[in-house]
Structure 1
Amino acid sequence: MRIGVDGRELAGSARTGIGRYVMEVLRAASRDGWECVVYGDARTRPVTLPGVTLRVLDGRWTQCWDQVMLPRQLARDRVSAFLSPYYKGPLFAPCPVVLTIHDLFFLDYPGRRRPLHRAMMTRVARLYARRATAIIADSEYSKRTIVERLGITPASVTVIPVALGAEFRPEPGTEAVRSRYAISDPYILYVGNFRPHKNLPRLIRAFAALDAPLRGRHVLVLAGGDRANRPALEALAKGLGVADRVVFPGQVHDADLPALYSACALFVLPSLEEGFGLPALEALACGAAVVAADRAAIPEVVGDAGLLVDPEDEAAIAAAITRVLSTPELRESLRRRGLERAREFPHDRTAGAVLALLRRVSEPR
């Protein structure tokens, strides 16, 4: 079995969720003795795994790389099946193509009206989806959205949840990590980017609405390297008089995330839209109590292991935060339930399911 994988996400020192997904699949394929050809460009770093080969294709124009260079090389390499970690892939490939559609933000970003862009990208995405042999979605919510928006049959979409890294588990000895990011008080944690769909202005306003004694005992930590959207949040915190209680530690190193999750008093994910909601799962796996939005795919991930709230109701967010921080028995119960919930997402399940799908589509029909 020889598979091809689009490896352009493995660029330099940058680490992304899609990059982690690609590496999990490559590691599993290598362990199973499969041959893997990773197709990249000049920025793609080599992958040092048995049976894995990097093929650098010269193509400065993305469409040329996707639709001309890649199909030619797939034919030369006699690849059995090709995995794209994106919504797009070669339209005329010499082998079955499996796409991975994490969400449909590229069609119509929440809160931004671009009708011409939406119409054009929807037509393009429908073409890619209909030409693909199979499509992977992260959640049942994403599957329903893909089927509805792209007009494809439900049978062509397979739900494979995002992999939870094995490193996400309760981690003691977190003082050094807290010191590194200048976090001293008990803290409420958010991890992610600061784009509008993450709903952080409402979280900041909910934090500002907490009773003064409770707010005075905690800080709100918004962890993420989103420099473009950070100033507006800082200005909001200042305007509400809580700038000294809202901490922006910047980008947190991957190795520090388990400790940061483990030490928080509460993790909050108030997003209006998520194709999966991986930070909530990571927090559960590290033993954090979780309050999360009752929207999109988040309830699928959190289940009954966290408190789900209406993310557009600031009073409800504040009430849930207050309830968890003021009730040690509830917080401990949520921690236990979260650890149990996280065990339903073993780190090797995703990669194994992806390999099974690749094997299935490569079999003669």
Structure 2
Amino acid sequence: MRSSSEWIVSPAEAAVAAPRLAVDARELRPGARTGIGRYLLEVLRAASREGWSCVAYGDAGACLDPPLRGVDWSVLDAPWTQWWDQVSLPRALARDSVTVFLSPYYKGPLSTPCPVVLTIHDLFFIGYPGRRRPVYDATMTAMARLYASRAAAIVADSEYSKRSIVTRLGVSAWKVSVIPVALGPEFKPTPPDETLLARYGVTRPYVLYVGNFKPHKNLARLIRAFALLPGALRGRHSLVLAGGDADGRPALTALAATLGVGARVIFPGRVGDEDLAALYSGAAAFVLPSLEEGFGLPALEAMACGAPVVASNRAALPELVAEAGLVFDAEREPELAAALARVLSEGALAADLRHRGLARAALYTPARTSGRVLALLRDVGAARARLGAWGADARQRFGEPR
């Protein structure tokens, strides 16, 4: 494996044609996409628009639908995840003459025929909020440090994430590029669609959350804050918790019932990508109360759809929302309730937040987001030009392409 210093490129090398790009696309699955899935899709869309030659590697459950021009889809078989990562993938990279590989995770193949760029969205897998797992955390930290040391470059979604990566993984700051996550073109103000909302059991007006139900999302405090709203406001609005998972829902349902707001808290389940813009657009307010966020993509999507945003003051959220939303102390339920009450009862404030949010979201252009990822990948891929003899070494280690 080449050391990361061997992938540093000169300005002249950066001017070469687009490389043959490969991505780990296992997060591209049918239906509602994860944040990582959205990140991958926007990078591939950008590469397709610019005429790149790409290959996306998935597993049996993944797919790229609809297909993208210039993007080949390849399913790699493997008996378990580590084999896929460290055996099947490197062989495929050699077979397909890949010049640079993008991983959407903190990990990647340790020995490859091309440079690897990691995308570390967050470090929640180490020292997860509220959990003490000293052996697990020490092991995962050591592995993350190894992957980071082998990477040619690292993408972080925010300055907050970059600081965490540099501090906790011992990575040089120059190796980490802060590039925000791209917005999909579908996220824009959408006219109300009562039929669509009814399909998810939602009626307006409503307060919206979109995401998973893991503890760091702080949803128990959101439900308690909703229960603290003045009776008239609480009676007119519902709290819609979209997304989530089967494991997290029962405790939240029980909490809502205990607080007397069980009938006002709606769980529509996972919402398809084609319906999310309408759900965001129809919200009286969007809330992201997280204790930890590496970026906070749902808040950006909500702003792009014209929803007033209320976000916690933790992690990357103040950096993302800036002056375009109301920010509250993530551990103070009365403060969240007060912020919600203002947005739901003060029409002028809500209108101002909608305007500010749209303006803020407009800054996250393809050129500033996925376009910068492509520029970084092009720079890293250009370093192959001075490693011509290495191709023979790769064929010997990984097998001749078939």
TM class by smaller structure: over 0.9
Measure the CA separation in 2 of the matches of 1:56 and 1:255: 25
Q: Distance in 1 between matches of 2:285 and 2:321?
A: 14
Q: Say if 2:120 is the partner of 1:107.
A: no
What's the counterpart of residue 356 of structure 2?
Answer: 337
- The equivalent position to 2:84 in structure 1, one of 44, 57, 65, is 65
Q: Aligned partners of 2:196 and 2:373: how far apart in 1? A: 34
Residues 166 and 347 in structure 1, CA contact (< 8 A), matched pair in contact too: no
Deviation at 1:45, TM superposition (A): 2.6
**Distance in structure 1 (CA, Å) of the matches to 2:139 and 2:282:** 45
Secondary structure class of the residue paired with 2:117: strand
2:24 is aligned to 6
Distance in 2 between residues matched to 1:261 and 1:165, nearest whole Å: 14
1:97 CA drift (Å):
0.7
Q: Which residue of 1 aligns with 2:54?
A: 36
Deviation, structure 1 residue 12? 5.1
Residues 292-345 of structure 1: per-residue CA shift (max 9 Å, x gap): 101100011111000000010111111111111121111111111111001011
Q: Which amino acid aligns with 1:92?
A: S
1:159 and 2:178 aligned:
yes
Provide, for residues 247-285 of structure 1, a one-character-per-residue CA deviation record: whole Å limited to 9, x for no partner: 122222221111111111111111111011111111111
CA RMSD in angstroms comes to 1.6
Question: In the alignment, what sits opposite 2:43?
Answer: 25
Give the Cα–Cα distance (whole angstroms) in 2 for the partners of residues 158 and 46 of structure 1: 27
Instruction: Count how many residue pairs are aligned between Structure 1 and Structure 2.
Output: 365
Distance 1:45 1:253 in 2: 15
What is the deviation of 1:33? 1.9
Structure 1's 19 and 263: CA in aligned 2 closer, same or farther, altered over 3 A? Answer: same
* 2:205 counterpart (171, 176, 186): 186
Task: Tell me if the contact between 1:267 and 1:291 (Cα under 8 Å) persists in the aligned partners.
Answer: yes
- Kindly, what percent of the aligned residue pairs are identical? 66
Q: Determine which of 253, 275, 280 is the counterpart of 1:256.
A: 275
Asked if the contact 2:26/2:58 (under 8 Å) is kept, the reply is yes
Q: After alignment, is 70-79 or 7-16 more displaced?
A: 7-16
Q: Which amino acid aligns with 2:249?
A: R
Q: Distance in 2 between matches of 1:299 and 1:268?
A: 13
TM-score (norm 2): 0.87
- Kindly report which structure 2 residues correspond to 1:319-334, keeping only aligned pairs within 5 A, or say none: 319-334=338-353
Please tell me whether residue 122 in structure 1 is matched to residue 129 in structure 2: no
> Which consecutive residues of structure 2, in runs of 5 or more, have no partner in the other structure?
1-18, 387-402
Q: Is 2:34 aligned against 1:16?
A: yes
Q: Which moved more, 1:244-253 or 1:141-150?
A: 244-253
Higher mean C-alpha displacement, 349-358 vs 114-123: 349-358
**2:31 touches 2:273 (CA, 8 Å); kept in 1?**
no
So what's the TM-score if we normalise by structure 1?
0.95
Which amino acid in 1 is paired with 2:293?
A: E
Q: For residues 191 and 57 of structure 1, what CA distance do their matches in structure 2 show?
A: 32
Question: Does structure 1 retain, via aligned residues, the 8 Å contact 2:221–2:331?
Answer: yes
Identify unmatched segments of 5+ residues in structure 1: none
Q: Offset of 1:185 from its aligned partner?
A: 4.0
**Taking structure 1 as reference, are residues 176 and 46 closer, same or farther at Cα in structure 2, changes over 3 Å only?**
closer
Cα deviation for residue 204 of structure 1 reads: 0.9
- CA distance 1:44–1:291, shift in 2 (3 Å): closer
Offset of residue 348 of structure 1: 5.4
Larger relative contact order, structure 1 or 2 (CA cutoff 8 Å, min sep 6): 2
- Provide the secondary structure at the position in 1 that maps to 2:323: coil
**Residues 1:55 and 2:74 aligned together:** yes
Contact map agreement 2:152 2:380 (CA 8 A) in 1: yes
Counterpart in the other structure of 1:226: 245
Superposed CA deviations along residues 27-84 of structure 1, whole A, max 9, x for unmatched, are: 2222222211222333333562232222333321322222223223322332111111
**Contact (CA 8 Å) 1:220, 1:245: kept in 2 or not?**
yes
In the alignment, which of 358, 362, 365 is matched to residue 377 of structure 2? 358
Do residues 170 (structure 1) and 189 (structure 2) align?
A: yes
Aligned residue in 2 for 1:88: 107
